[in-house]
């Protein structure tokens, strides 16, 4: 999946169908000149329905269609015939899509299970035919109901990536390089901040044909929870990861301080993120000597409680087998 094809935020307009008119018809046959009312009801307008589809990974298809209109209900007719219902608009979205009302920003629905159907906007009801209004005092009602008009709504769709492992770290610590090295993904790589502007997914092949999904997410900077940098555009993707892999650069002067800044940003955005399993990988470890590694080990062991860590280098293939073993172990605990 290329960066340009990954779309995780889009606004669309949806229109439910109008209800059909009821019929004010009277029964007329060869030997029955004054039959009673037999006007049928109008059909309902089409619903706007969201369908969860696990085969979709992005909201890219909404680039080409942002307006969805349902069919209108058919009018009622004689012999108490009900009009046909309007065609529903079936809108397919990936698992992990949050649907909001754009005007109020209120969450309407979040897709969880493949194949789920959810009516987001009801079609208008069909009008009643004159057959429904007959009574002992009014045996020939000459009126019927018009159908109820459909509704219009603007929706905001946000996708939260569904991955086993989410890469968390400051810009330019080697997240994209790691993803490219241990998966078949081809993220954009460069020696400058915010090389990654869109999340990337890759499948990590493990032993015995087993695998798990890893997501490279744009780098965090201090203040991301308030929207600085790429802010909320990336933080929501972390919510659906089972394990968070914190990437800290061995070139940093204070890895523990970097880790705590990252943790604080996650906490301010959503405190529940701190309940997820965490692993630390010290990247670019081929650039430091054994003495520096020993100091980092002591700092992490004394200042960060019970978080497993590994030294890795995506360029020199150092520690990649060990980090995959550790991730697999934590994922299956």
* Same domain assignment for residues 149 and 178: no
The total of structural domains in the chain comes to 2
Helix ranges (DSSP H) in 142-197? 175-182
* Same domain assignment for residues 272 and 145: no
Which is more confidently placed, 40 or 273?
40
Q: How far apart are CA 297 and CA 256, in angstroms?
A: 11
What letter would DSSP give residue 94?
Answer: -
* Same domain assignment for residues 150 and 177: no
Compute CA distances 85 → 73, 131, 308, whole Å: 5, 19, 59
Pairing state between β 97-101 and 152-159: antiparallel
**Per-residue model confidence as pLDDT tens digits over 133-171:** 999 889 889 999 999 999 999 999 988 776 788 888 887
Please state the φ and ψ torsions of residue 223, each to the nearest 5 degrees: 95, 5
Q: Which of 159, 174, 203 finishes a domain?
A: 159
Q: How far apart are CA 65 and CA 91, in angstroms?
A: 11
Tokens of 14: 């949806």
Tokens of 272: 């529940």
CATH of the domain at 14: 2.70.210.12
Pairing state between β 277-283 and 117-121: unpaired
Please state the φ and ψ torsions of residue 180, each to the nearest 5 degrees: -65, -35
* Same domain assignment for residues 316 and 203: yes
pLDDT band at 67 (very low <50, low <70, confident <90, very high): very high
Contact between residue 50 and residue 8 where contact means Cβ atoms under 8 Å apart: no
* Same domain assignment for residues 152 and 170: no
Average pLDDT over residues 197-219: 76
* Same domain assignment for residues 152 and 172: no
What letter would DSSP give residue 131?
Answer: G
* Same domain assignment for residues 136 and 205: no
Tokens of 128: 């009643």
Helices H / strands E in the chain, number of each: 5, 14
* Same domain assignment for residues 129 and 202: no
**Per-residue model confidence as pLDDT tens digits over 80-133:** 999 999 999 999 998 889 999 999 999 999 998 899 999 999 999 999 999 999
Query: Which of 42-46, 173-177, 186-190 has the highest mean predicted lDDT (pLDDT)?
Result: 42-46
Q: Of all helices (H) and strands (E), which one includes residue 268?
A: helix 255-269
* Same domain assignment for residues 141 and 209: no
The residue segments making up the domain with residue 121 are 1-159
Non-local (6+) Cβ contacts of 18 within 8 A are 45, 72, 73, 86, 123, 124, 147, 148, 149, 150
Average pLDDT, the chain: 84
Q: Which of 159, 192, 209 finishes a domain?
A: 159
> What percent of the chain clears pLDDT 90, i.e. is strictly above it?
40
Half-sphere exposure of 79 (CA within 13 A, CB side): 2
* Same domain assignment for residues 142 and 16: yes
Query: Given this model, what pLDDT does residue 208 score?
Result: 83
What does pTM read for this prediction?
A: 0.67
Q: Which of 125, 159, 193 finishes a domain?
A: 159
Query: Given this model, what pLDDT does residue 185 score?
Result: 55
Please state the φ and ψ torsions of residue 204, each to the nearest 5 degrees: -90, 115
Tokens of 80: 């108490």
* Same domain assignment for residues 153 and 190: no
* Same domain assignment for residues 230 and 274: yes
Q: How far apart are CA 12 and CA 102, in angstroms?
A: 9
Query: Given this model, what pLDDT does residue 45 score?
Result: 97
Query: Given this model, what pLDDT does residue 159 score?
Result: 84
Residue 319 pLDDT exceeds 60: yes
CATH of the domain at 256: 3.40.50.300
Beta sheet of 48-52, edge-to-edge order: 89-93, 48-52, 117-121
């Amino acid at each position: 999946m290329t960066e340009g094809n990954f779309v995780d935020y889009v606004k669309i307009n949806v229109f439910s169908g109008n209800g059909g008119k009821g019929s004010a018809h009277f029964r007329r046959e060869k030997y029955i000149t004054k039959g009673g009312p037999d006007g049928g009801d109008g059909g309902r307008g089409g619903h706007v329905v969201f369908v969860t589809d696990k085969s979709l990974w992005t909201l890219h298809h909404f680039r080409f269609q942002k307006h969805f209109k349902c069919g209108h209900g058919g009018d009622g007719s004689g012999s108490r015939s009900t009009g046909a219902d309007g065609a529903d608009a079936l809108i397919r979205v990936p698992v992990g899509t949050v649907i909001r009302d754009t005007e109020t920003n209120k969450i309407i629905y979040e897709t969880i299970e493949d194949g789920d159907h959810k009516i987001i906007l009801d079609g208008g009801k069909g009008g009643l035919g004159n057959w429904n209004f007959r009574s002992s005092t009014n045996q020939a009602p000459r009126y019927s109901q018009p159908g109820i008009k459909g509704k219009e709504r603007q929706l905001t769709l946000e996708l939260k990536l569904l991955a086993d492992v989410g890469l968390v770290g400051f810009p330019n610590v080697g997240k994209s390089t790691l993803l490219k090295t241990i998966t078949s993904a081809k993220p954009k790589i460069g020696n400058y901040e915010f090389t990654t502007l869109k999340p990337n997914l890759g499948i990590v092949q493990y032993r015995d044909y087993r695998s798990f999904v890893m997501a490279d997410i744009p780098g965090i900077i201090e203040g991301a929870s308030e929207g600085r940098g790429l802010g909320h555009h990336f933080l929501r993707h972390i919510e659906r990861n089972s394990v968070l892999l914190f990437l800290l650069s061995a070139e940093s002067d204070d890895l523990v301080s970097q880790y705590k800044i990252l943790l604080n940003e996650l906490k301010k955005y959503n405190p529940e993120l701190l309940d997820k399993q965490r692993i630390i990988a010290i990247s670019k470890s081929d650039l430091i000597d054994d003495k520096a590694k020993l100091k980092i080990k002591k700092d992490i062991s004394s200042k960060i409680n019970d978080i497993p860590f590994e030294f890795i280098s995506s360029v020199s293939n150092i520690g990649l087998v060990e980090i995959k073993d550790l991730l697999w172990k934590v994922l299956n605990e």
